[in-house]
C-alpha cells in the first residue's frame, strides 16, 4: 500500500524557535557540563539548589558552633593558657581577702599563692572540672593597673555591695573600662547574707534595678559561701568569651615571673627574662615587643621551660616503696626548670624588626644647584608668554591674591606683580600668646566679685590662687570662643600684614584647592607615611589570618629574653606593678600622625585647650602628647577647634607610633594634685599625615556710612597699607551679605566696600583668613603613675562640677 504524500498546497507552519527561549534544563543538557567564564566567577550559592543551600547553611552553623566550643575548651585547659580572671571590687565596703578565701577552696583543687608587692594573685588548678584559673586583683583607685590588667584579662569579676552596688570610685572605674572595651565579665554580690532575711529579697530587687543601667540583662551571682563560690567558678568556665579586636591580632603575655641580668658595660641596662603564657597569636622572636608603660624592645631568644602550673601534675613512683607517690607541682617544676630548659627560637639579625622610630632627615635633601643663564632666560620667556592679561594691583600683591581682584567689569584674572616671599616661618609656632595679648584690653575691663568665707577661715589655705587664676582665664576664653567663634582683634602695635602673614584667603573653604604637601614643618621629615594605609592594614590582617607564624604557640609557657631593658622595669614589677608585653605588628614601632575621634566625657566640664599636654590610652599603648582638635567631617580640609567641645565629636591629631585600628582611645588630664581625670573617650580613626587641619581667624569691622550696596567700614584695619594688602580677600557679614574691598579711604584704615545687597546698620563685616596648623612634637612614652583615686576626693569635686 502506497504512503500518502502531501501535495504542494499543504500549509507550512513556522518552526518553534527553541534557541531563543530555552530553559535552564535544555541549556545544561546541550552544554554537557561546560560553563561560561562569567558563570564560573559567580558565587556557588546561586547555582545550588534549595536543598543544597540549606545543607550548606547548616554546615556553616555547625562549623561556627564547633569553633566557639573549641575556643571555650582550650581556655583554661591543659593545652591552653590559664583562664585569667581580674577581680575588681567596686565599693570600699567589699572585703577582697574574704572573696579570695572563698575562691581558694582546697576541696575544689590545688591552690598556688603568689604575693608580690601589694598585688595578690593565686593559681587554682581543678582537675575535676578540667580547668585552671589565674585570679588577680586591682583596686578601682589604681587606674593604670585596672586598665592594663583589663587589656589582658579573659574575664573581669565585678564585686558589688548589696546596698549601693558601687561607690563614686567604682563608677569612675566602670566608665574608663567601658570606654576601653570590656572583655567577658561577671557580676557577684558580696555580703547579702549578712542582711536580715526579710530585707534580702528587697535588696536584690533594688540592686538588680540599679545595675540595669550599666549591665542590662545580666544576672547577679552571690559570693558568701563555698557553695556559691563553686557555682561562680562553673559560670566563669562556661561563659562565652567576648573578643577585644586590638589584642586578638597580636601576641601578648602577662608576666608571672621576671628576672634581670645586668650587662657588663652598664648596670642600669641589661637583659630582662619574662616568663608567662602566650595568648592571642603565636609569638615570633624577630618581632618588636612593647612593654606597657616602658617602650619598645627587641628579643634575643625564647625559651620553653617546664610549665610550673600543670593541670595534671606528673606522678613519680618511688623505687623503694611502690605505694608512695610524689606529685611534681610548681616548686619541683621550678627546680627542674634548668634541666628541662629548651630553646625555642633565637633572633635572626637579618629578619629581626628594627627599633627605628624616626626617619633621620638629610639636610641637603631637596637642595638645588644654581640655575644657568640659559635656564633663567627660558624661565623669563615662559613667564612672559603665560602672563596674557595685565592689570593694576597694589604693590606687594602675590599672584594668588591677584586672582581674586575684580576688574571694573566684575571679572577676575591676570597676573600681579612678582611676590618675593622673604620669610618661610615654621607652621608649628604657637599663636596662643599673641592672641592672648590681643585680648588683654577687653579682659582688663572685666571685674570679679569674691565672697568672703565666714565659717571656715582655713579654707583659703588649701586654694591655689595661681591655678584658680589660670582656670578662670580658660573659662573666659572658652566663653568668648562660644560667643564669637574664631574672632580676634586686629593688633594696633603690629601691622596686620605682618601679624597675619602666614594666613591666606579662600574663596570657598570647602572647594578651594590646598596642596597637602605645601610648606610642611621639619618634623614631617622625621615621620613615616603609607602610600595607601587601608591596603597595608588589610594586607597585614590577611597575613595574620592565613599564614602560620613561626614561634611560640598560644598556651605555651615561655621565657622571653628581652635585650637593652632599663633596670627600672623590673623594679616596678617587684613593687607590684603588672608587667604586660604585646608583640607589635609590622611598622607599629614607627612614628607618624594619628587621628582619633573622641567625644567629651560628661563627668568632666573643665575647659581643655588645644596643644595642652594630655595622657593617651590608645589600644595597648600609653603615652603623653599635645594634640590638635579639629572638626570631624568628610571634606579634605578640617577646621581647627581651639577647645574640646562637649556637644560634638572631634578629631584629635598627635604625633605617635603607628597603630592599626580598631583601637579604643581614652584621654586623661593630670590635675595639680597628681590625679588623672578622664576628659574624652573614642576610637582610632586613621594614620594620615595628609589630613589638613586649617585654623581660621576672623577679623571684624563695623559699617560707618552705608550707601545702598556700598559702605564705609572701619576698625578692621588701622592703616592704609593693611587695607591694600588684604584687598583681594572676600568679605562677608553676619547677616549673610558678601562683598569685597574697593579702595582705602584716608590713612587710618577706613575702606570703601561693595556688597551684593543692602547692608544693615547693625550688621558686622567679617574677613576670614586661614592657615594650616600642625601638632607639637611632645610625644613621651613614659607616663608618671597617678595618685590613686579616693572616694573623698571624688565626692569633693562633684559639687563643684555640678555648680559649674
61-104 pLDDT per residue, tens: 998 888 877 777 777 777 788 999 999 998 888 888 888 888 88
Residue 132, in any domain of the structure: yes
Distance, in Å, from the CA atom of 620 to the CA atom of 293, rounded to the nearest integer, reads: 10
89 in the same domain as 216:
yes
Helices (H), ranges, 37-166: 37-41, 50-74, 96-103, 143-152
Residues in the chain: 804
Residue 392, in any domain of the structure: no
* CB contact at 8 A, 111 and 99: no
3-class secondary-structure state, position 241: coil
Owning domain of residue 173:
73-242
Q: Nearest-5° angle of CA 224, CA 226, CA 232?
A: 80
3-class secondary-structure state, position 767: strand
Place of cell 536584690: 204
Confidence of residue 550 (pLDDT cuts 50, 70, 90): confident
Reference 713, options 693, 690, 740; nearest CA is: 740
114 in the same domain as 140:
yes
Element (H, E) at 800: helix 791-803
257 in the same domain as 166:
no
- Mean pLDDT value of segment 315-330: 40
> Is residue 428 over pLDDT 50?
no
Most confident among 331-345, 504-518, 782-796 (mean pLDDT): 504-518
Distance, in Å, from the CA atom of 632 to the CA atom of 597, rounded to the nearest integer, reads: 7
> Is residue 438 over pLDDT 50?
no
Residue 655, in any domain of the structure: no
Residue 729, in any domain of the structure: yes
Instruction: For residue 561, give the CATH number of its domain.
Output: 2.40.30.10
* CB contact at 8 A, 694 and 642: no
Residue 29, in any domain of the structure: no
* CB contact at 8 A, 551 and 713: no
Which distant-in-sequence residues (6+ apart) come within 8 Å of 569 by Cβ? 260, 272, 291, 294, 579
**What's the pLDDT at 116?**
63
Residue 501, in any domain of the structure: yes
Helices (H), ranges, 108-241: 143-152, 168-180, 197-211, 226-238
> Is residue 451 over pLDDT 80?
no
Count other Cβ atoms within 10 Å, centred on residue 184.
18
> Is residue 209 over pLDDT 60?
yes
Distance, in Å, from the CA atom of 782 to the CA atom of 295, rounded to the nearest integer, reads: 8
**What's the pLDDT at 406?**
57
> For a pLDDT cut of 70, what percent of the chain falls above it?
78
CA-based radius of gyration for the chain: 36
Please say which residue of 200, 218, 242 terminates a domain: 242
Reference 298, options 363, 232, 353; nearest CA is: 353
Q: Which residue has better confidence, 195 or 23?
A: 195
Q: HSE, CB side, 13 Å, CA atoms: give it for residue 126.
A: 22
Instruction: Report pLDDT digits (tens) over 10-32.
Output: 888 887 765 566 666 776 777 76
DSSP-derived letter for residue 366 is T
Confidence of residue 395 (pLDDT cuts 50, 70, 90): low
- Mean pLDDT value of segment 665-672: 89
Number of structural domains found in the chain: 3
Flag the least confident range among 37-46, 84-93, 387-396, 458-467. Answer: 37-46
216 in the same domain as 142:
yes
Element (H, E) at 768: strand 765-773
- Mean pLDDT value of segment 595-608: 89
Q: What is the mean pLDDT of the chain?
A: 80
Please say which residue of 242, 266, 287 terminates a domain: 242
255 in the same domain as 236:
no
Q: Nearest-5° angle of CA 138, CA 141, CA 147?
A: 55
Confidence of residue 199 (pLDDT cuts 50, 70, 90): confident
Reference 731, options 507, 510, 511; nearest CA is: 507
**What's the pLDDT at 646?**
84
Flag the least confident range among 386-400, 420-434, 544-558, 725-739. Answer: 420-434
> Is residue 398 over pLDDT 60?
yes
Most confident among 253-262, 410-419, 540-549 (mean pLDDT): 253-262
Confidence of residue 343 (pLDDT cuts 50, 70, 90): confident
Instruction: For residue 504, give the CATH number of its domain.
Output: 2.40.10.190
- Mean pLDDT value of segment 186-195: 87
161 in the same domain as 260:
no
194 in the same domain as 145:
yes
215 in the same domain as 90:
yes
SS3 sequence of 511-547: CCCCCCCCCCCHHHHCCCCCCCHHHHHHHHHHHHHHC
Flag the least confident range among 28-42, 47-61, 219-233. Answer: 28-42
Q: Which residue has better confidence, 387 or 128?
A: 128
Most confident among 318-327, 359-368, 708-717 (mean pLDDT): 708-717
C-alpha cell at 272: 630582662
Element (H, E) at 155: strand 155-160
Instruction: Report pLDDT digits (tens) over 475-528.
Output: 667 776 666 677 888 888 899 999 999 999 998 888 899 999 988 998 998 999
Distance, in Å, from the CA atom of 527 to the CA atom of 361, rounded to the nearest integer, reads: 9
* CB contact at 8 A, 553 and 278: yes
Distance, in Å, from the CA atom of 245 to the CA atom of 620, rounded to the nearest integer, reads: 11
Distance, in Å, from the CA atom of 773 to the CA atom of 637, rounded to the nearest integer, reads: 11
> Is residue 704 over pLDDT 90?
no
Place of cell 562565652: 240
**What's the pLDDT at 433?**
45
Residue 266, in any domain of the structure: yes
Please say which residue of 188, 210, 242 terminates a domain: 242
707 in the same domain as 738:
yes
Flag the least confident range among 128-132, 265-269, 397-401, 695-699. Answer: 397-401
* CB contact at 8 A, 297 and 288: yes
- Mean pLDDT value of segment 606-626: 91
> Is residue 640 over pLDDT 80?
yes
Residue 55, in any domain of the structure: no
Distance, in Å, from the CA atom of 284 to the CA atom of 550, rounded to the nearest integer, reads: 6
Instruction: For residue 110, give the CATH number of its domain.
Output: 3.40.50.300
* CB contact at 8 A, 623 and 656: yes
213 in the same domain as 101:
yes
> Is residue 182 over pLDDT 80?
yes
Which distant-in-sequence residues (6+ apart) come within 8 Å of 98 by Cβ? 190
What is the helix, strand, coil percentage profile of the chain, to 5?
25, 30, 45
Distance, in Å, from the CA atom of 193 to the CA atom of 537, rounded to the nearest integer, reads: 53
Count other Cβ atoms within 10 Å, centred on residue 285.
24
**What's the pLDDT at 297?**
92
303 in the same domain as 216:
no
Distance, in Å, from the CA atom of 664 to the CA atom of 210, rounded to the nearest integer, reads: 27
> Is residue 537 over pLDDT 60?
yes
217 in the same domain as 291:
no
> Is residue 474 over pLDDT 80?
no
- Mean pLDDT value of segment 408-420: 41
- Mean pLDDT value of segment 293-306: 90
Amino acid at each position: 500500500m502506497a504512503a500518502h504524500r502531501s501535495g504542494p498546497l499543504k500549509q507550512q507552519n513556522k518552526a518553534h524557535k527553541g534557541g531563543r527561549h530555552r530553559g535552564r534544563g535544555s541549556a545544561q543538557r546541550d552544554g554537557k557540563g561546560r560553563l561560561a567564564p562569567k558563570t564560573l566567577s559567580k558565587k556557588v550559592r546561586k547555582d545550588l539548589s534549595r536543598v543544597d543551600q540549606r545543607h550548606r547553611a547548616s554546615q556553616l552553623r555547625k562549623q561556627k558552633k564547633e569553633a566557639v566550643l573549641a575556643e571555650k575548651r582550650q581556655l583554661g585547659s591543659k593545652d591552653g593558657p590559664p583562664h585569667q580572671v581580674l577581680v575588681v571590687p567596686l565599693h570600699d565596703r567589699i572585703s577582697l581577702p574574704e572573696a579570695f578565701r572563698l575562691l581558694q577552696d582546697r576541696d575544689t583543687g590545688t591552690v598556688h599563692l603568689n604575693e608580690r608587692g601589694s598585688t595578690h594573685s593565686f593559681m587554682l588548678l581543678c582537675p575535676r572540672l578540667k580547668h585552671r584559673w589565674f585570679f588577680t586583683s586591682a583596686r578601682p583607685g589604681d587606674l593604670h593597673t585596672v586598665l592594663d590588667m583589663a587589656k589582658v584579662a579573659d574575664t573581669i569579676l565585678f564585686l558589688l555591695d548589696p546596698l549601693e552596688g558601687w561607690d563614686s570610685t567604682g563608677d569612675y572605674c566602670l566608665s574608663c573600662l567601658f570606654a576601653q572595651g570590656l572583655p567577658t565579665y561577671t557580676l557577684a554580690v558580696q555580703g547579702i547574707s549578712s542582711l536580715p532575711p526579710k530585707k534580702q529579697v528587697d535588696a536584690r530587687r533594688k540592686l538588680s534595678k540599679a545595675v540595669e543601667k550599666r549591665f542590662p540583662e545580666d544576672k547577679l551571682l552571690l559570693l558568701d559561701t563555698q557553695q556559691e563560690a563553686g557555682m561562680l567558678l562553673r559560670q566563669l568556665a562556661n561563659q562565652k568569651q567576648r573578643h577585644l579586636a586590638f589584642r586578638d591580632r597580636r601576641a601578648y603575655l602577662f608576666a608571672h615571673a621576671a628576672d634581670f641580668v645586668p650587662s657588663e658595660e652598664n648596670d642600669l641596662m641589661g637583659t630582662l627574662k619574662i616568663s608567662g603564657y602566650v595568648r592571642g597569636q603565636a609569638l615570633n622572636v624577630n618581632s618588636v615587643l612593647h612593654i606597657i608603660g616602658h617602650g619598645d624592645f627587641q628579643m634575643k631568644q625564647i625559651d620553653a621551660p617546664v610549665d610550673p602550673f600543670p593541670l595534671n601534675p606528673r606522678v613519680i613512683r618511688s623505687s623503694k616503696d611502690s605505694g608512695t607517690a610524689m606529685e611534681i607541682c610548681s616548686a619541683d617544676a621550678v627546680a627542674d626548670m634548668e634541666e628541662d630548659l629548651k630553646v625555642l627560637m633565637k633572633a635572626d639579625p637579618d629578619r629581626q624588626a628594627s627599633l627605628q622610630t624616626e626617619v633621620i632627615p638629610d639636610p641637603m635633601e631637596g637642595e638645588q644647584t644654581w640655575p644657568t643663564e640659559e635656564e633663567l632666560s627660558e624661565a623669563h620667556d615662559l613667564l612672559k608668554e603665560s602672563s596674557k592679561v595685565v592689570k593694576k594691583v597694589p604693590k606687594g600683591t602675590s599672584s594668588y591674591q591677584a586672582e581674586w581682584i575684580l576688574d571694573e567689569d566684575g571679572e577676575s584674572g591676570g597676573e600681579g606683580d612678582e611676590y618675593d616671599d622673604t620669610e618661610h616661618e615654621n607652621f608649628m609656632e604657637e599663636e596662643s600668646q599673641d592672641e592672648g595679648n590681643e585680648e588683654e584690653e577687653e579682659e582688663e575691663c572685666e571685674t570679679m566679685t569674691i565672697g568672703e568665707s565666714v565659717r571656715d577661715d582655713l579654707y583659703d589655705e588649701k586654694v591655689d590662687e595661681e591655678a584658680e587664676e589660670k582656670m578662670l582665664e580658660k573659662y573666659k576664653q572658652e566663653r568668648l570662643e562660644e560667643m564669637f567663634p574664631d574672632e580676634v582683634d586686629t593688633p594696633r602695635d603690629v601691622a596686620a600684614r605682618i601679624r597675619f602673614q602666614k594666613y591666606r584667603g579662600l574663596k570657598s573653604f570647602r572647594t578651594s584647592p590646598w596642596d597637602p604637601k605645601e610648606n610642611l614643618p621639619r618634623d614631617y621629615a622625621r615621620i613615616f607615611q603609607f602610600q595607601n594605609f587601608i591596603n597595608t592594614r588589610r594586607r597585614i590582617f590577611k597575613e595574620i589570618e592565613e599564614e602560620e607564624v613561626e614561634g611560640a604557640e598560644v598556651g605555651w609557657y615561655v621565657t622571653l629574653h628581652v635585650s637593652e631593658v632599663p633596670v627600672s622595669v623590673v623594679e616596678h614589677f617587684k613593687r607590684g606593678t603588672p608587667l604586660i608585653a604585646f608583640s607589635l605588628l609590622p611598622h607599629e614601632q614607627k612614628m607618624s600622625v594619628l587621628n582619633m575621634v573622641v567625644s567629651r566625657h560628661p563627668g568632666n566640664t573643665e575647659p581643655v585647650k588645644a596643644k595642652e599636654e594630655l595622657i593617651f590610652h590608645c589600644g595597648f599603648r600609653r603615652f603623653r602628647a599635645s594634640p590638635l582638635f579639629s572638626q570631624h567631617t568628610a571634606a579634605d580640609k578640617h577646621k581647627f577647634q581651639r577647645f574640646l567641645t562637649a556637644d560634638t565629636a572631634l578629631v584629635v591629631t598627635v604625633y605617635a607610633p603607628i597603630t592599626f585600628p580598631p583601637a579604643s582611645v581614652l584621654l586623661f588630664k593630670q590635675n595639680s594634685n597628681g590625679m588623672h581625670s578622664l576628659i574624652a573617650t573614642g576610637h582610632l580613626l586613621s594614620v594620615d599625615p595628609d589630613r589638613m587641619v586649617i585654623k581660621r581667624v576672623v577679623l571684624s569691622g563695623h559699617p560707618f556710612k552705608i550707601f545702598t550696596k556700598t559702605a564705609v567700614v572701619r576698625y578692621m584695619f588701622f592703616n592704609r597699607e593693611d587695607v591694600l594688602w588684604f584687598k583681594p580677600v572676600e568679605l562677608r557679614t553676619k547677616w549673610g551679605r558678601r562683598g569685597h574691598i574697593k579702595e582705602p579711604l584716608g590713612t587710618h584704615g577706613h575702606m570703601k566696600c561693595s556688597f551684593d545687597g543692602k547692608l544693615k546698620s547693625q550688621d558686622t563685616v567679617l574677613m576670614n583668613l586661614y592657615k594650616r596648623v600642625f601638632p607639637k612634637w611632645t610625644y613621651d612614652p613614659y607616663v608618671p603613675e597617678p595618685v590613686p583615686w579616693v572616694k573623698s576626693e571624688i565626692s569633693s569635686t562633684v559639687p563643684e562640677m555640678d555648680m559649674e
